[in-house]
A and B are shown apart, each in its own frame.
Chain A
Amino acid sequence: MRVCLVRDILDKQLLDVTNQNAGKVDGIVLEMRPGEPTRVHCIEVGPITLLRRLNRRLGDWFARVDAHFGEGRGVPIRIPISRVILDSPSLRIDLAVDNLPVMALERWLRQHVVARIPWS
């Protein structure tokens, strides 16, 4: 099956193994090596990649802020292309999104904001 990266992969909805929304495909990374064929390396998800597409400096600023939030933060979130499965009308990743930094903000808000509102 022939797949166009921009038409069929970029900006598509991602679902994880538990059927949770795992964000959109915000970026695609190719691997180009001298003398060897180019191949798709991974997809990128999350606000750093998203903001860099809109404005480089805005994305870089966000990355610097994000880096303060712990180990492994402050860089785009990458998912190997081998983990991405076409599952129309979305794309599925065979990972649990809860273990990925994609949900870091969601988790933080759940624990620190929603949990403090009575009966939530």
Chain B
Amino acid sequence: MKRLIGIALGIVTSIGGFLEIGSITTAAQAGADFHYQLIWAVVLGTICIALLIEMSGRFAAVSKHTIADAMRERFGLHFFMVPLVLVFFVSLLVLAAEMGGVAVAIEMVTGVHYPVWALPVGLLAWGLLWYGTFSVIENGVAMLGLITIAFLVAALQLGPDWHALVSGLAPTLPDKQPAHYWFIAVSILGASVSPYLFYFYSSGAIEEKWDATYLGSNRIVAAVGMGFGGFLNIAVLVVAALVLAPRGIHVEKYTQLPLLLSSPWGRLGFALFAAALFITCLGATTEIALALAYQIAQGFGWNWGEDLAPRDDARFSLTYTIILVLATLLVLVGLDPLKLTTLSMALTAASLPVSIVPFLVLMNDRSYLGEHTNGWLGNISILVVSVLASIVALVSIPLEIAGGS
């Protein structure tokens, strides 16, 4: 019974935590500019993150190691530093984008320009981490994130053309703006396949003391939770295609985003959008700050644990404090949250092989996983997607910045 509740809770938190500023923005841009044509990218990203989440949960449950811990141990200090530094800087940009998302949500309600909210948002996230426990953050915040089901309701109510929607499942070449099309496609992949997530997930599995008996529930939570999360992401794209595209609105300013829900539902929709953005971005903020602190603490062998009091893991707690300060400064200088979001998602995609290849090597190491190593299908699909995403990102980022299409 306890295990069943655990599975249900895991699924609910995966769904509630799936959307954040990156997936909302990239799906909205895709729907506004290319109707249903990029649905395949959302589906591909969802499948990849479900596979990766299952793998990192399995790794932690069987080997009793977190990913960061094992990377240092297996590859040595020098090689460990490469993904550490790269994931750190890319995730710091993503973190700033998420904090910007929380600040923008407050701006939507109060009318006060978002950089003003950088400091309160930083303090709020820090307070949750410093005084809260792992389950408060993981369950509480992600549970509130279920408000994002509003996107699914809106999509169904607006009534998509199901035939066109299904045809978007197959990748096709665009008939206009090819560079922009591929840029958005990789940004969508970068938004769903975030390397910080598997550092976070494996650490959570260790904090909750998983063992090999959790393998089944781990698989169900990853497949069902991430699967439904992917549906919400598709719903955002569909709503954008039905609401933004007919009016010729291209998502160029963050102030256009609430139209997704305010068009069908008026003031209530506007409030719902602001609430959804606030809660999901706040959840992602705490997850990323924790994930980076986990990665550093585990890589250097410190005491760590969100359930420990800060006095028992001072270095760990002060690491996420410093990370939040750095990201707060990035929001404070007024970097445009929308540009920061799309750029950081594309950079995440570009850097995928650096974080994913060593991860896959670990997933095939019998000394950690025994008989529970990866199958060939999982290996090949993740490898191909991450390498392709990286190549396309490296080509399309300069083109997008240059404004070519």
Contacts and interface: CB of A to CB of B under 8 A. Distances in A.
A3 interface: no
B17 to A, nearest CB: 27
A9 B256 CA distance: 55
B201 interface: no
Contact of B65 (A14, A26, A89): A89
B351 interface: no
B315 A120 contact: no
Across chains A and B, which 9 residue pairs bring their CB atoms closest together, nearest first?
A24-B301, A109-B314, A23-B301, A110-B314, A21-B303, A114-B314, A114-B311, A114-B310, A120-B310
A119 B311 CA distance: 11
A22 interface: yes
Interface of B: 63-65, 69, 72-73, 76-78, 80-81, 130-131, 299-304, 309-311, 314-315, 317-318
Contacts of B73: 11-13, 24
A21 B296 CA distance: 14
Contacts, number: 62
User: Majority SS of interface residues in chain A?
Assistant: mixed
Interface of A: 6, 10-14, 20-24, 26, 50, 53-54, 89, 105-106, 109-110, 113-115, 117, 119-120
A11 B81 contact: no
Contacts of B311: 110, 114-115, 120
B63 A89 contact: yes
B64 to A, nearest CB: 6
28 contacts: A11-B72, A11-B76, A11-B80, A12-B73, A14-B301, A21-B301, A21-B302, A21-B304, A22-B301, A23-B300, A23-B302, A24-B299, A24-B301, A26-B77, A53-B77, A54-B77, A54-B78, A54-B81, A109-B314, A109-B315, A109-B318, A110-B311, A110-B314, A113-B314, A114-B311, A114-B317, A117-B130, A120-B310
Contacts of B80: 11
B301 A89 contact: no
Contacts of B318: 109, 113-114
